Amino acid sequence: MTYTPPLRDELKGIEPYGAPQLDVPVQLNVNENPYGPSEAVVDDVAASVARAAAALNRYPDREFTELRTELAAYLTRDSGDTPVTPEMVWAANGSNEVMLQLLQAFGGPGRTAVSFAPTYSMYPEYARDTNTTWVAGTREQDFSLDHALARDLIAEVRPSIVLLPSPNNPTGTALDPKAVAVLAEALGEVDGVLVLDEAYGEFRRDGVPSALELLPAYPNLVVTRTMSKAFAGAGLRLGYLAAHPAITDAIRVVRLPYHLSAVTQAAALAALRHTDELLGKVEELRRERDALVTWLRGQGHAVADSDANYVFFGTFADRHAVWQGLLDRGVLIRETGPDGWLRVSVGTPEEMAAFRAALTQALTEVVTS
């Protein structure tokens, strides 16, 4: 029996977001950390979840107080000692959920959300799902942001929320720190909030500051983070933010009750006890990333500067053929962003060697431009 459910008109015919989940030997398509947890971390997570399981008949701590305290301590450490207090922290099931909650609180009918393309393709989906008008500004040829144009767009459309990843996805380059001040000030004039999405913040190059340092200066600045990337916890589903306590208070109004399960809270707290180990591979991944950028440039490709654990490169007349050529050799990367460009996540040295070999071979078969 066929059935057509009463889907909202604007959702009809839309494909769900997501990269292909293919079982191939070298997976470099969703910017995961290639290094799994050690046995010590696995044991601690398992024991903590077992303790939580003994009380699963009860709802979890709705305010996840202990977790907020530990996340605040970690953020203070990663922000050049700018104090981040527990009441400035909020968390949810991945930073995707954190940002959806921000749109639920600060977007909505009659309001506008803005970002600058090419950028993370989930942003327009948060806007669509919250009936928020979506406006995408543009970036320069090198994917940087023209501050004056960005300020003008904000003055013109008066968004209640601007979402900006730093480093940007898919291009990989961190936002010029001056832009944060310019945009936060411009948004202050139209009563809007600036969401700096630092999902990949820990991978930033030396000398690139985190926007966390600017929190004391701008009450309308929100910095989002995740345990999915540098923390090697993509399967954990734990994202979080730091902002003025008035912002975390506002999110409480839209969050579902007990949205962070006791199991998630226990596992995240256990992972945070092993912060040094879990972040221990960040240095190695940054070095591998820089080597990859150098190698790709040496091969004559255009490559965006990367502050992330992925590299954006091109340009190919037929990027799909290059993507397919890599897949045929067991290497899965991502076909995303402006036409002609491809994005590859940084993996282990062995995975990167496989990528370099596969790309070299694949390019002998396809026409490049």
| Contacting residues toward ligand PMP, per CB under 6 A | 31, 94-96, 120, 165, 169, 197, 199, 226, 228, 234, 239
Angle at 159 between CA 156 and CA 163, to 5 degrees: 120
Count helices and strands (H / E) in the chain: 12, 12
Would you say 102 or 247 has its CB closer to ligand PMP?
Answer: 102
Would you say 103 or 362 has its CB closer to ligand PMP?
Answer: 103
Shortest distance (Å) from residue 228 CB to ligand PMP: 3
What are the C-alpha distances in Å from 284 to residues 96, 203, 279, 291, 349?
26, 10, 10, 11, 9
Would you say 227 or 362 has its CB closer to ligand PMP?
Answer: 227
Q: How far apart are CA 356 and CA 326, in angstroms?
A: 10
Tell me 334's DSSP state: B
User: Per the structure block, which two tokens stand in for 344?
Assistant: 């590859």
Cβ(64)–Cβ(57) under 8 Å? no
Q: How far apart are CA 213 and CA 72, in angstroms?
A: 13
Residue nearest to ligand PMP (CB): 94
Would you say 239 or 314 has its CB closer to ligand PMP?
Answer: 239
Shortest distance (Å) from residue 367 CB to ligand PMP: 30
Q: Report H helices in the chain.
A: 39-53, 65-77, 95-106, 123-129, 147-157, 177-189, 245-254, 262-273, 275-278, 282-298, 319-328, 349-365
Would you say 100 or 214 has its CB closer to ligand PMP?
Answer: 100
Q: How far apart are CA 350 and CA 31, in angstroms?
A: 16
Tell me 89's DSSP state: E
Amino acid present at 163: L
Would you say 132 or 228 has its CB closer to ligand PMP?
Answer: 228
Shortest distance (Å) from residue 239 CB to ligand PMP: 4
Angle at 112 between CA 9 and CA 208, to 5 degrees: 120
CB atoms within 10 A of CB 82: 17
Shortest distance (Å) from residue 94 CB to ligand PMP: 3
Cβ(237)–Cβ(205) under 8 Å? no
Shortest distance (Å) from residue 185 CB to ligand PMP: 23
Would you say 97 or 362 has its CB closer to ligand PMP?
Answer: 97
* Distance in Å from the first CA to the final CA of the chain: 50
Would you say 309 or 362 has its CB closer to ligand PMP?
Answer: 309
Q: How far apart are CA 147 and CA 232, in angstroms?
A: 34
Would you say 104 or 169 has its CB closer to ligand PMP?
Answer: 169
Would you say 220 or 228 has its CB closer to ligand PMP?
Answer: 228
Q: How far apart are CA 101 and CA 252, in angstroms?
A: 9
